[in-house]
Amino acid sequence: MKKVLVTGADGFIGSHLTESLLEKGYDVKAFVYYNSFNNWGWLDTLPKEKLDQIEIFAGDVRDPNGVREAMKGVEGVFHLAALIAIPFSYHSPDSYVDTNIKGTLNVLQAARELETERIMVTSTSEVYGTAQYVPIDEKHPYQGQSPYSATKIGADRLAESFYRSFNLPVSIVRPFNTYGPRQSARAVIPTIISQLLAGKEEIKLGSLTPTRDFNYVKDTAAGFIAIAESDRTIGQEINIATQQEISIGELAHEIISQINPNAKIVCDEQRLRPEKSEVNRLLGANAKIKKLTDWKQQYTFEQGIAETIEWIRHHMDAYKTDIYNV
């Protein structure tokens, strides 16, 4: 499998995965979201020598014709394109069904028609909801605690059905909370860092008690590739997790101590999830990925945070720190 397509290549994880695939010698076609400005998202920030190696396909995963066209001539597909913001899913759930469920169906249908050798469908730890036990392994029940997580559960089950019904060589890749350079302030770590670097003395956050298992983005990208390169992962759903957790409050205090120890945290009501929708604990098991692939975590949390702070420090123009980024 040398020629691969990455959907969502213009996004946070997708752009890092695209770079990692290039570094490993893959021939990469990048599916970016079509817009009249010809903006390729984070791929626009890559050095010209890297960008020249990538074939760009601008389209929309909601359109089955464009998806099929993009997938012609590729041996493998990493399907990352999705709507991911949970607060946005509260008021616009239809768009999540269209993009996350229908978009995934379009990829699966095209893969079946074109006899694509390998398909990686991206899941999320949010499909598990609040942990019923820890560490959360792949047998944990699914809980649709937001319209976002519900659509990702639906997409995962479609992928499973295509494996079971049509023997499609698909793997469901389930990263826990990924962070790192290029992540938007939709996520908590860039929210904290960008407010601090903007000189804010009061850091606005939602609930501080939930815990998360944070993956550095380069480790997440390596997990995708390791899963794709192992035949033992076909028909499987596999966590990418560190098997360590930290609360949002502890995380915030750690970052504050590194950037501005005088800053304090204030609760911003609009950032709180509805009570039954808040996922209170996510701590992932990584035994399965370690058993089926050669993946192992390369970055400590401290290293990942340091690299993220440094990147955001030089890209503050990408953040609107005075508003709540839904």
The tens digit of pLDDT for each residue in 137-166 reads: 999 999 999 999 999 999 999 999 999 999
Average pLDDT score over the chain: 96
Query: Band of the pLDDT at 269, cuts 50, 70, 90?
Result: confident
Residue 130: pLDDT above 90? yes
Query: Band of the pLDDT at 293, cuts 50, 70, 90?
Result: very high
CA 161 – CA 168 distance, rounded (Å) = 9
For the chain, how many helices (H) and strands (E)? 12, 13
Gyration radius (Cα) of the chain, Å: 19
Intrachain domains 3-179+215-240 and 188-212+245-282+300-318 with the same fold? no
CA 301 – CA 150 distance, rounded (Å) = 29
pLDDT of res. 19: 98
The stretch 170-174 carries a mean pLDDT of: 98
The pairing of beta strand 264-267 with beta strand 202-205: parallel
pLDDT of res. 201: 94
pLDDT of res. 186: 87
Q: Please give the share of the chain, as a percent, with pLDDT higher than 90.
A: 95
For 62-78, the pLDDT digits (tens) are 999 999 999 999 999 99
CA 102 – CA 123 distance, rounded (Å) = 14
Paired residues of 265 in beta bridges = 203
For 202-235, the pLDDT digits (tens) are 999 999 999 999 999 999 999 999 999 999 999 9
Paired residues of 197 in beta bridges = none
Query: Is the distance from CB of 136 to CB of 128 less than 8 angstroms?
Result: yes
* Superfamily of domain 3-179+215-240 in the CATH hierarchy: NAD(P)-binding Rossmann-like Domain (3.40.50.720)
* Every domain of the chain and the residues it spans: 3-179+215-240, 188-212+245-282+300-318
For 252-261, the pLDDT digits (tens) are 999 999 999 9
The stretch 4-22 carries a mean pLDDT of: 98
CA 147 – CA 96 distance, rounded (Å) = 7
Q: Which of 3, 15, 79 is nearest to 311 (CA)?
A: 15
Alpha helix stretches (DSSP H) within the chain: 12-23, 48-51, 64-71, 86-91, 93-96, 103-114, 147-166, 188-197, 217-228, 248-259, 287-292, 301-313
Query: Band of the pLDDT at 322, cuts 50, 70, 90?
Result: confident
Residue 326: pLDDT above 80? no
The stretch 281-298 carries a mean pLDDT of: 98
Residue 325: pLDDT above 90? no
188-212+245-282+300-318 is classed in which CATH architecture?
Alpha-Beta Complex (3.90)
CA 77 – CA 111 distance, rounded (Å) = 8
Query: Band of the pLDDT at 275, cuts 50, 70, 90?
Result: confident
pLDDT of res. 298: 98
